[in-house]
Amino acid sequence: MSYIGEHTWAGQLGHFLALVSFAGALLALAGYVLFTRGNDPGWRTVGRIGFRAHSVAVVGIVVTLFTMLFNHWFEFDYVWKHSNTEMPLRYIASCFWEGQEGSFLLWTFWNVVLGNLLIRRAKEWEGPVLAVFALVQGFLATMLLGVHIGDVRIGSSPFLLVRELPENIGLPWTHITDYLQKIPQFKDGRGLNPLLQNYWMVIHPPTLFLGFACTLVPFAYAIAGLWTRRLKDWMAPALPWTFVGVMVLGTGILMGGAWAYEALSFGGFWAWDPVENASLVPWLTLVGAGHLMLINKRKETSLFTTFLLALGTFLLVLYSTFLTRSGVLGDTSVHSFTGEGMLPGLLVFMLAFVALSVAMLNTVASNRRFYLGLCVVMLALGVGLRVQVPAILLFGAVSLVMTVAAYRTGPFHVEAEEKLMSREFWIFIGSLVLLLSALQVSFSTSVPVFNLLLEPFHGVLAPLAERTGWGWLNDLAQAKLAPPANARAHYNKWQIPFAFIVALLVAVGQYFRYKDTDRRRFLRELSLALAGAVALTALGTWLLGYRFTELDLIALFFATTFAALANAFYIPKVLKGSLAKAGPSIAHVGFALVLLGALISTSRQHEISRNTKGPVLSLLNEDFNDSKDMLLYQGDTLPMGEHFVTFTGKRQEGVNLYFDMDYLSAEPNRYHAGDTVRVRNSLFRAKDDHTPGPEFLADQPAHWEPVETFSRSALWRTPRWTARRPGGRTFALAPLVQLNPRFGNVAEPSTKHWPQRDLYTHIRYAKLDTLGDGFMPARLYERNVGDTIVTPTCVVLIDSVRAVRDSVTIARLGPDYTVYLLNMKVRDLYDDSRWFEARPVVIYRFDQPVGSKGFAIPQLNVKFDLATVKGRQVGLNVSEREFVIMQAIVFPGINILWIGCILMAAGTFVAIRQRMRGR
Amino acid sequence: MKRSHLIALVIIAVAVAALIGSLNDSSSYADLNEAFAQPGEEFHVVGTLDRSQPIVYEPSVNASLTRFTMTDLKGRSCEVKLAMAKPADLERSERLVLIGEASADGAFHAKDMLLKCPSKYNEENKVTAGIGSDN
Of the candidates A440, A483, A742, which has its C-beta nearest B26's C-beta? A483
pLDDT band at A249 (very low <50, low <70, confident <90, very high): very high
Chain B residues touching A611 at Cβ < 8 A: 62-64
Give A345's contacts (C-beta < 8 A, 6+ positions apart): A142, A143, A154, A155
Residue B41 forms part of a structural domain: yes
Bigger pLDDT: A327 vs A817 = A817
The pLDDT value recorded for residue A163 is 84
Chain A residues touching B86 at Cβ < 8 A: 765
Chain B residues touching A417 at Cβ < 8 A: 2-4
CATH number, residue B71: 2.40.50.140
Residue B53 forms part of a structural domain: yes
Rounded Cα gap, residues A29 and B124, in angstroms: 39
Interface of A with B in 857-886 (CB under 8 A): 861, 880, 883, 885
The pLDDT value recorded for residue A331 is 57
Residue B10 forms part of a structural domain: no
pLDDT digit string, tens, across residues A481-508: 777 777 888 898 889 999 999 999 999 9
| Whether A793 contacts A858, CB under 8 Å | no
Does domain A1-192 fall into CATH 1.10.3470? Answer: no
Kindly tell me the burial class for residue A698, based on how many C-beta atoms sit within 10 Å of its own C-beta (0-12, 13-18, 19 or more): middle
| Whether B77 contacts B70, CB under 8 Å | yes
Q: What is the mean pLDDT of residues A665-691?
A: 87
The pLDDT value recorded for residue A589 is 97
Interface of B with A in 98-117 (CB under 8 A): 99, 112, 114, 116-117
- The answer to whether B60 contacts A484, with C-beta atoms less than 8 Å apart, is no
Q: Which of A43-57, A120-134, A798-812 has the lowest mean pLDDT?
A: A798-812
The pLDDT value recorded for residue B89 is 73
**pLDDT value at A44 more than 90:** yes
Rounded Cα gap, residues A631 and A683, in angstroms: 27
Chain A residues touching B24 at Cβ < 8 A: 472
Instruction: Return the domain boundaries, chain A.
Output: 1-192, 200-337, 342-414, 488-604, 630-766, 779-881
| Whether B94 contacts A642, CB under 8 Å | no
Cα–Cα distances in Å, from A141 out to A104, A134, A610? Answer: 9, 10, 54
The pLDDT value recorded for residue B117 is 59
Chain B residues touching A793 at Cβ < 8 A: 60
**pLDDT value at A611 more than 70:** no
Q: What is the mean pLDDT of residues A613-626?
A: 38
Q: What is the mean pLDDT of residues A360-383?
A: 90
**Of A479-493, A725-739, B108-122, where does the model show the most confidence?**
A725-739
pLDDT digit string, tens, across residues A473-486: 776 666 677 777 77
**pLDDT value at A305 more than 70:** yes
Cα–Cα distances in Å, from A33 out to A134, A136, A315, A625, A627? Answer: 10, 14, 21, 69, 65
**Element at B82 (helix H, strand E):** strand B77-82
pLDDT band at A270 (very low <50, low <70, confident <90, very high): confident
**pLDDT value at A148 more than 90:** no
| Whether A323 contacts A449, CB under 8 Å | yes
| Whether A311 contacts A292, CB under 8 Å | no
Q: What is the mean pLDDT of residues A734-740?
A: 86
Residue B14 forms part of a structural domain: no
Kindly tell me the burial class for residue A88, based on how many C-beta atoms sit within 10 Å of its own C-beta (0-12, 13-18, 19 or more): exposed
| Whether B33 contacts B74, CB under 8 Å | yes
Bigger pLDDT: B87 vs A726 = A726
Percentage with pLDDT > 90 across chain A: 41
Rounded Cα gap, residues B106 and B109, in angstroms: 9
**Of A145-159, A553-567, B35-49, where does the model show the most confidence?**
A553-567
pLDDT digit string, tens, across residues A320-345: 888 888 777 765 554 445 555 778 88
Rounded Cα gap, residues A708 and A719, in angstroms: 17
Of the candidates A185, A439, A447, which has its C-beta nearest B131's C-beta? A185
The pLDDT value recorded for residue A265 is 65
Q: Which of A617-631, A884-898, B37-51, B67-81 has the lowest mean pLDDT?
A: A617-631
pLDDT band at A105 (very low <50, low <70, confident <90, very high): very high
Bigger pLDDT: B128 vs B40 = B40
Residue B83 forms part of a structural domain: yes
The pLDDT value recorded for residue A330 is 63
The pLDDT value recorded for residue A325 is 81
Chain B residues touching A494 at Cβ < 8 A: 18, 21-22
pLDDT digit string, tens, across residues A568-610: 999 988 888 788 889 999 999 999 999 999 999 988 888 887 7
Q: What is the mean pLDDT of residues A181-199?
A: 79
Residue B105 forms part of a structural domain: yes
pLDDT digit string, tens, across residues A425-444: 899 999 999 999 999 999 88
Sign of CA pseudo-dihedral A660, A664, A669, A674:
negative
**Of A30-34, A610-614, A814-818, A862-866, where does the model show the most confidence?**
A30-34
Quick check: helix, strand or coil at residue A264? coil
Q: Which of A93-102, A428-437, A438-447, B57-66 has the lowest mean pLDDT?
A: B57-66
The pLDDT value recorded for residue A612 is 59
**pLDDT value at A59 more than 50:** yes
Residue B36 forms part of a structural domain: yes
Provide the number of CB pairs (under 8 Å) joining chain A to chain B: 160
Residue B133 forms part of a structural domain: no
**pLDDT value at A84 more than 90:** no
The pLDDT value recorded for residue A166 is 76
- Interface check for A265 against chain B (CB to CB < 8 A): the answer is no
Q: Which of A49-53, A72-76, A91-95, A808-812 has the lowest mean pLDDT?
A: A808-812
Chain A interface disruption, residue of B25, B32, B42, B113, most A CBs within 10 A: B25
The pLDDT value recorded for residue A626 is 52
pLDDT digit string, tens, across residues A886-897: 888 899 989 999
The pLDDT value recorded for residue A209 is 94
Reported in sequence order, the residue ranges of A785-828 that DSSP labels E, i.e. its strands, are: 788-790, 794-804, 817-828
pLDDT digit string, tens, across residues A630-643: 888 888 888 888 88
pLDDT band at A614 (very low <50, low <70, confident <90, very high): very low
- Interface check for A248 against chain B (CB to CB < 8 A): the answer is no
The pLDDT value recorded for residue B134 is 30
